[in-house]
Chains A and B, each alone.
Chain A
Amino acid sequence: EVQLLESGGVLVQPGGSLRLSCAASGFTFSSYAINWVRQAPGKGLEWVSNINSGGGTDYADSVKGRFTVSRDNSKNTLYLQMNSLRAEDTAVYYCAKSLTSGWYGSCDYWGQGTLVTVSS
């Protein structure tokens, strides 16, 4: 059974840093691109970043230069390092697996989400 489990979401002050983790199981983690998608309270879905099977990365302009996505295939774990956090980064953060090896979107499995709150 495919599972994605996010962790690391907490209350953090503006300007602070945080690292989210996404532990994967039930599939060949190294073969798939994984996305981070966030959802601010009461709002729609916003794509944050992608890391492909080769380790290549892409970011939304809103987080570029502040967030860094990485993966440890030996641990089947994805990370999102979040620096210089702003109030507008407050959201539930989901990790989501791409449907097919070689694709980037069309995510067939999602974690339960982890809440990041940026506030003083």
Chain B
Amino acid sequence: DIQMTQSPSSVSASVGDRVTITCRASQGISSSLAWYQQKPGKAPKLLIYAASNLQSGVPSRFSGSGSGTDFTLTISSLQPEDFATYYCEQSKRFPLTFGGGTKVEIK
């Protein structure tokens, strides 16, 4: 199985801050990586697919980069509605696997 390691597990930040979350795959997955945002009690929301493609309707302050084993999600200027938990997901091969999550908290 492909293991997905996210870091950090949590981050405290202020509105306007730049936030970077990383995800490392245990083996190469090309660009088969997605990022999701989840708020408490809600289903996950797709932010980024194929490592760097912004899903329709997602604000441009979100961006993704990377390929192979190392990936990054960046929020360029954190907004109040961005406080949530973020997950990466690899879909290179089954079983699909998620990272452990990164909780973005208010500083």
B46:A58 contact, CB within 8 angstroms: no
Indicate which residue in B50, B90, B94 contacts A50 across the interface (CB closer than 8 Å).
B94
Contact A99-B46, Cβ < 8 Å, known A104-B91, A108-B55: yes
A112:B43 contact, CB within 8 angstroms: yes
- A-side interface residues, number (CB < 8 Å): 24
Q: Which residues of B contact A45 (CB under 8 A)?
A: 36, 38, 44, 87, 89, 98, 101
Q: Which residues of B contact A60 (CB under 8 A)?
A: 95
Cα distance A105–B101 in the bound complex, in angstroms? 17
B100, closest chain A residue (CB): A44
Indicate which residue in B38, B45, B91, B99 contacts A105 across the interface (CB closer than 8 Å).
B91
Indicate which residue in A35, A44, A113 contacts B96 across the interface (CB closer than 8 Å).
A35
**Any B CB within 8 A of the CB of A29:** no
**Any B CB within 8 A of the CB of A61:** yes
A106:B43 contact, CB within 8 angstroms: no
**Any B CB within 8 A of the CB of A79:** no
Q: Which residues of A contact B49 (CB under 8 A)?
A: 99, 106, 108
Give the Cβ gap from B63 to chain A, nearest Cβ, in Å.
16
B43:A105 contact, CB within 8 angstroms: no
B97:A47 contact, CB within 8 angstroms: yes
Contact with A along B43-82 (1 / 0, CB 8 A): 1111001100001000000000000000000000000000
A105:B95 contact, CB within 8 angstroms: no
8 pairs of A and B residues whose beta carbons are closest in the complex: A105-B91, A110-B43, A106-B49, A47-B96, A106-B34, A58-B94, A45-B98, A44-B101
Residues of A bordering B, CB below 8 Å = 35, 37, 44-47, 50, 58-61, 94, 96, 99, 103-108, 110-113
